[in-house]
Structure 1
Amino acid sequence: MIGMLPMDSTSTKSDVASEKQQPSLAGTEYKKTGYSLFVWLSDDKLECRCSYVPRSQGVMMTRDELRGYLAQAGVKEGVDDAAVDDFAIKAASGRELSMVLLASGLAPVAGVDGWISYSATPSITVNSSGGEENTSIDMHNVQTFINVLPNDEIGRIVPPEPGSAGRSITGQVIPPKAGKALNLKIGKNIRADDGGALLIATAAGRVSVSSGEISVEEEYIVSGDVNFRIGSIVFNGFVEIRGDVLDEFNISATKGIRVTGNVGICNLVSEGDITFCGMDGQGRGTVTCGGTIRSQFIHNCVIECTGDVIAEVEIHNSTIKTLGRIIINRGAVSGGTYEALGGIEAKKIGSPASVKTTLAVGVDYHDAAELERLFAELEKNQAQLAQAKSLQEIEELRAVKATLADSILAIRNKVDERSNPKINVKGMLYDNTLLSIGSISEVVKEQKDGPTSIIENTIEGGLRYLSMTSLDVKASDIELAFIRELKR
């Protein structure tokens, strides 16, 4: 308990006068014949610290005197009894003490401002591998997005908290700073349910908070290169890159991708159209597209596409499979393998150096892969039949053979309105080019001048080289005209 300031019964009038508080810039000094005590209270009244200077003459300060000085300074709460006892013992022994903490108040706890508790999680996180002592971090994956789909819960707006009051060492209540409500405008593609607290996406995209507004953006624009600063991108929307996509950075966007620059050894994936200036995949770059691909050039890439693959200048040394057409407007397709259900058109096919180039048109590449598997199974079945040792085994193998034959026939008889087994050469067709058109496969032995359209000759076998017509004109319609002419 804090006592009253004790009086020295032997002190003179001048001594008594010297005991009075001597205000100073930062605290109060109490002087006696034997010592000086400085009592300092912090501006927020949460701390009391004392300094002590003994003198060569006079009596040292006692514990009760110290408590009296604290009380006189206004200290009512938070006194550390152990610290006071220790201070008094050291003072009585004549030791000089400096700014020792003797009392502490309870600081107020500020309230928490309103905030958003996100339910959705980022699409990309930084990946690490290896043990704790040797961790490798893939810094290509540094970009984080909160991707959402329609009706996804984005998060909740958490109301502010009031905080808790504190108490000063002078016994006063210190009110807390109350939290502020979140000042947030609900932007496009978001609706607020549950009294405005629950945020729900109304469109696919990424959650964006900018200038006090939260929205779901259906486009993501990068004003520059995709590099270590941006990282790989996964986005439920349309991505536009106003620069290049550097090696080992990947982009996945549901609604489409546009790159104004070039693409390196990367993986591009989209259900929509993909456009880029050029791509040099060096044998490892891939594109998976649910729409149409447009570019200036494509080198050393592996591509699967649902729509057309269009290059303005050239396509070299790539593997392309598409359910649409492959079109090179001004240059050549050379080296590699190209399968297009809707036909192929280029100014030049193959190369003067006779680089092997394989073109297959009019067949769904999924079906081509299945046919290859079925024929392999059929060949295996034939070998097993040759080695069969019992009638039962022969009958079982023949049943398998019949099933395989039916499957092959079903694929070959399948009618696809997109199919156009036709190749257009506007300029030059070079030798060592394998053409697979319909059921015919031929290797070009010597170069041929264009312009020409190449289709299957269903009457005499082999291929027909005709005056070039647009890929919009179906090979089946052209061949039907020959059949009708023959019947006249």
Structure 2
Amino acid sequence: MASEKLFKGGLPLQEGAFLLKVSKERLLAVVVPGESEEAVELKREELRRVMEEEGIVHGVLPEPAVRSSGGLCVAQGLAPIHGEDSKVKMHVKPAVVRSPKVKDPERDQVDFRELGSIVNVDKGRLLLEIIPPTPGTPGKDLFGAEIPPKPGKERKLKRGPGITLSSNERKVFADCDGKFVMVDGRPAVYEEHVVNGDIDMSVGNIAFGGKLLVVHGEVPPGFSLKCRGDIMIDRGVHNSLVMAGGKLTVAGSVVGEETVLRAKGDVEIAFMENGPCVEAGGNLLIRESSIQCQGLVGGNFYARGKGVVVGGKYIVGGSVYVRELGSEAEVQTNFHVGVVPTLQGRKQKVDEDLRLWAERLNEIIKNISTLEKMKKEQGGGFPQERTTMLQKYKLAMPKAMDRVNALTEQANALEAELEQMVAESVFVYGTIHPGAVISIGSATRFVTSEEEQSVVYFDRESRQILIRKMSAEEQAAGA
């Protein structure tokens, strides 16, 4: 067993000319000069013998090494490598917030207005994982004894809502579609995103992949909101783009020619005016009024409260239910009902393509006729470049004719399909004014007289659009 002198003052060598010392952690042996005033050379053999007698068997250097702090290092043990603590490996970089204000703990609704950016994730996405701590590597002291390492510490990860863990609780997955955040070190995925105020430059454009986007303010010009689920806006939308994968509700006004609202589900608006375009895959509900707007509606159109619709153009797949249609000023107000918007869009596209190809065909035929006439008049003097041009026109003409014929067949087929869609009607619970234009299928009716509590419908026998008085049951349904 090593003597205590090795650890205290040092073990004398060569009658005190040198001292052999060992560090407290037993990992370093050094030789330092003793109290001898004479220059004495260190005897290597005696040094080795003493170290062996003292039990220094590990890490003995072949040759002593000069230390910068003085003396010679003659043996050096192996220090243990302590284990590393468990680590978090991020597979998705989250938005990081600190102690957000909780609005509704039961719904996990949090105010993230200061969040800045939204990190959207899909359900099942691997967000992060905990890398286990390492045990470390043992060392060995100068006397051959093993030095155990300190193992790394296990990190306990607190978690928020919207996540799920793997069976070993080391991998964190999104449990829903939404935004991924780290709140005070806790991973969470929120299905709702709430803006407590207006959309402005501090918030920016929003693209949210969750279930619900709520704006407790208005959307001013130039911004865009997009949400995979529903959108609720407490105030107005002005010359901005709003797109919802579900239902869209605007409790205020929708204003401006550059405003576009699109939703795969229903759209509900307090009132709109001055040119906005609304596209609803489901129903469109106007609570107060719609003045000079455009609508493309897959379901029904409702404006039964105050229900005033003046001006604009609406293509509606279902029926129309309004309180007042048009105005005393006889503003033209167009409704095309019983038309699936996608079908109508296809018909408009085919009609436009047909018009362009028909014009192109006519131009080709005209050019061929002109060049043939010139060739007949000029005979051998007809220029070669015009002969080449004539050949190109003749080659292009059959292709153009085939294209025109194909588009004509498509247009006729779509027209026939549209003509069959005549089961929907327009229900006016108050007044329908002159200037209203109602189209059902391929038929159109220009309203020229004021009518009260009326139903505009397509009469299959006469193939015309007629107007009749509402029944008591129909009036009660609209009350």
The SS at the match of 1:451 is strand
- Whether contact under 8 Å (1:157, 1:198) holds in the other structure is yes
One-letter amino acid of the counterpart of residue 462, structure 2: E
Task: State the identity %.
Answer: 20
- Whether contact under 8 Å (2:422, 2:458) holds in the other structure is no
Q: CA deviation at 1:414?
A: 3.8
Q: CA deviation at 1:185?
A: 2.0
CA 1:116/1:432 → structure 2, altered by over 3 Å: closer, same or farther? farther
2: CA distance, partners of 1:186 / 1:122: 14
- Whether contact under 8 Å (2:216, 2:235) holds in the other structure is yes
One-letter amino acid of the counterpart of residue 156, structure 1: E
Q: CA deviation at 1:337?
A: 1.4
Q: CA deviation at 1:141?
A: 12
Counterpart position of 1:315? 290
Counterpart position of 2:262? 288
Q: TM-score, normalised by structure 2?
A: 0.60
- Whether contact under 8 Å (1:337, 1:357) holds in the other structure is yes
Q: CA deviation at 1:215?
A: 2.3
Aligned mate of 2:444, from 441, 444, 456: 441
Q: Is 1:336 paired with 2:308? A: no
Counterpart position of 1:351? 327
Q: TM-score, normalised by structure 1?
A: 0.59
Aligned mate of 1:200, from 169, 173, 181: 173
Q: CA deviation at 1:375?
A: 2.7
Which region of structure 1 is more displaced relative to structure 2, 184-193 or 303-312?
A: 184-193
Q: Is 1:463 paired with 2:462? A: no
Counterpart position of 1:29? none
Q: CA deviation at 1:277?
A: 0.8
1: CA distance, partners of 2:439 / 2:252: 27
The 5 A counterparts of 1:13-24 are none
2: CA distance, partners of 1:356 / 1:450: 18
Counterpart position of 1:364? 340
2: CA distance, partners of 1:424 / 1:358: 14
CA 1:397/1:121 → structure 2, altered by over 3 Å: closer, same or farther? same
Aligned-residue CA RMSD (Å): 4.2
Aligned mate of 2:435, from 422, 425, 432: 432
- Whether contact under 8 Å (1:143, 1:230) holds in the other structure is yes
Counterpart position of 1:214? 187
Deviation string 1:352-383 (CA, Å, 9 cap, x unpaired) is 23333221111122222322232344445555
2: CA distance, partners of 1:252 / 1:78: 67
2: CA distance, partners of 1:307 / 1:356: 25
- Whether contact under 8 Å (2:420, 2:441) holds in the other structure is no
2: CA distance, partners of 1:327 / 1:356: 19
2: CA distance, partners of 1:151 / 1:417: 45
Q: CA deviation at 1:321?
A: 0.5
CA 1:199/1:453 → structure 2, altered by over 3 Å: closer, same or farther? same
Gaps of 5+ in 2: 1-66, 70-82, 96-112, 137-150, 370-393
Q: CA deviation at 1:327?
A: 1.0
- Whether contact under 8 Å (1:422, 1:471) holds in the other structure is no
2: CA distance, partners of 1:420 / 1:278: 33
CA 1:204/1:338 → structure 2, altered by over 3 Å: closer, same or farther? same
One-letter amino acid of the counterpart of residue 371, structure 1: K
- Whether contact under 8 Å (1:147, 1:207) holds in the other structure is yes
One-letter amino acid of the counterpart of residue 118, structure 2: F
Gaps of 5+ in 1: 1-76, 80-110, 124-139, 164-177, 474-488
Q: How many residues align?
A: 342
Higher helix share: 2
- Whether contact under 8 Å (2:422, 2:440) holds in the other structure is no
CA 1:457/1:221 → structure 2, altered by over 3 Å: closer, same or farther? same
2: CA distance, partners of 1:181 / 1:143: 33
One-letter amino acid of the counterpart of residue 159, structure 2: I
Q: CA deviation at 1:115?
A: 6.0
CA 1:276/1:113 → structure 2, altered by over 3 Å: closer, same or farther? farther
Counterpart position of 1:234? 207
CA 1:397/1:209 → structure 2, altered by over 3 Å: closer, same or farther? closer
